[in-house]
Amino acid sequence: MSADLHAPLGQSRKDRGARRRVPLSSLAGGLAVVGLLGLSSYSTFTPLPLTVLHQTDQPGTTDPAPAEAAASKPDAAGGMEASRPRSGANVERTVTDDGSVVTKYSPKARDGRGPVLIGAQDVGQDPRMASLPDENLLEDTPEGRIPVVGPDGLRPVDLYARPWSGARGTRVAIVVGGIGLSQTGSQKAVRELPPEITLAFASTGNSLTRWMQEARRKGHEVLLQVPFEPIDYPSNDPGRGTLLTGRPADENLKNLHEAMARMTNYTGIMNYMGGRFLADGEALEPVMRDIGKRGLLFLDDGSTARSLSGDFAKAIGMPQAYGNLLLDGQLDRRAILDKLDELERIARRGGGAIGTASAFDETILAIREWAKEASGRGIEIVGVSAFATDGE
């Protein structure tokens, strides 16, 4: 039996059934749920206040987007962006009649008001993209796609160079050439040599792109070996596409460009043989000029004392370096280790040295063994680009 405390005393009320009183906490919870549902519905049907940057509404108009915002663009990797906000390039986008967007890049005048490039060599390639070329550093030619300086002034020698510490210690670069001539030798060199070793790919080899991509993913710096005329040509023939002293300059440049088009992502050109060609100023000059203007270094293997490559590099103002020592003139592990020790002594006297070799089994084994202990003796193994200075 229940009593109504609010009824007047002495009076009775009909029992209308027990009244259920709702707690205040439950009521508050219900109101909160209703509020959340309302807010969710509002968000669903109300567009967010997004800001549209540099949208061009009319076909045929241009949008001079700032370099900082426009230097990023999708690349061949399928959606990833490669940003170079410090490039200082002028970027213009034009919307055509069919709705396509055409982007034009052009160098920005250095009038002192643009971005300042500090430590330009720090603007290297993202390691995740190291096996893919930068499309801005390639030019379409009748011989194929070959390196070129980018519209923002970035050079292949800078982008594809292997980073190093910059310390003033003893530096050694080791260049192993002939990659691509032998499938087993190429596989062994790419997969077993430490990533600090520079690999030189023969332009006359096979599967160069495949081996280059694997080498770059592992961290190697890469060069392209081009055959030059030796002293005893034609009895000693370096192979197809050899640059010859008796050929016109345009024919040699055509052969050079065909070699350049065999692969991408290399920092420079290295001679294969070439005792006669490197000593012939008339034949060598147009070749060196073309290599230099494309933002590549030239590595002279040092096999001939009569080479003029250094003189032309200094006159042109292009990156160039000399090999100091051939490491595997004698194919014996112990002999190669002795040569590596000699290379170390040269480096300690002069601050650095470059050794060259070929992808033989004995060579790869000896270099691996020597490189394991080099850092413990205070030696830094660097990419060959660390030695290539602009001959200004």
Q: Taking 90 as the threshold, does the pLDDT of residue 159 lie above it?
A: yes
Model confidence pLDDT, tens digit, residues 33-50 = 555 555 555 544 444 444
Across 213-230, average pLDDT: 97
Structure tokens, 314? 């200094």
Q: How confident is the model at residue 138 (pLDDT cuts 50, 70, 90)?
A: very high
Q: Taking 90 as the threshold, does the pLDDT of residue 92 lie above it?
A: no
Say which amino acid occupies 110.
Answer: R
Output the average pLDDT for the chain.
Answer: 81
SS3 375: helix
| Choice between 47 and 225, residue whose per-residue pLDDT is larger | 225
Model confidence pLDDT, tens digit, residues 310-349 = 999 999 999 999 999 999 999 999 999 999 999 999 999 9
User: Whole-prediction pTM value?
Assistant: 0.71
What per-residue confidence (pLDDT) applies to 88? 47
What per-residue confidence (pLDDT) applies to 35? 59
Q: Where are the domains of the chain?
A: 59-109, 156-390
The CB density around residue 87, as the number of other CB atoms within 10 Å, is: 25
Q: How confident is the model at residue 32 (pLDDT cuts 50, 70, 90)?
A: low
Structure tokens, 241? 């596409």
Superfamily of domain 156-390: Glycoside hydrolase/deacetylase (3.20.20.370)
3-state SS, 5-74, equals: CCCCCCCCCCCCCCCCCCCHHHHHHHHHHHHHHHHHHHHHHCCCCCCCCCCCCCCCCEECCCHHHHCCEE
What per-residue confidence (pLDDT) applies to 298? 98
What per-residue confidence (pLDDT) applies to 389? 78
Q: Taking 90 as the threshold, does the pLDDT of residue 237 lie above it?
A: yes
Q: How confident is the model at residue 377 (pLDDT cuts 50, 70, 90)?
A: very high
Q: Taking 50 as the threshold, does the pLDDT of residue 189 lie above it?
A: yes
Highest mean pLDDT among 30-39, 62-71, 103-112, 379-388: 379-388
Q: Taking 90 as the threshold, does the pLDDT of residue 78 lie above it?
A: no
Using CB atoms within 10 A of its CB, is residue 193 exposed (0-12), middle (13-18) or buried (19+)? buried
Model confidence pLDDT, tens digit, residues 242-253 = 999 999 999 999
What per-residue confidence (pLDDT) applies to 102? 63
Q: How confident is the model at residue 54 (pLDDT cuts 50, 70, 90)?
A: very low
Q: Are 197 and 220 in contact (CB under 8 A)?
A: yes
Q: Taking 70 as the threshold, does the pLDDT of residue 73 lie above it?
A: no
What per-residue confidence (pLDDT) applies to 26? 52
What per-residue confidence (pLDDT) applies to 11? 46
What per-residue confidence (pLDDT) applies to 382? 97
What per-residue confidence (pLDDT) applies to 95? 73
Highest mean pLDDT among 91-105, 121-135, 341-355: 341-355
Model confidence pLDDT, tens digit, residues 163-186 = 999 888 999 999 999 999 999 999
Q: Taking 70 as the threshold, does the pLDDT of residue 301 lie above it?
A: yes
Q: Taking 60 as the threshold, does the pLDDT of residue 23 lie above it?
A: no
Q: Taking 80 as the threshold, does the pLDDT of residue 265 lie above it?
A: yes
Distance CA 369, CA 365 (A): 6
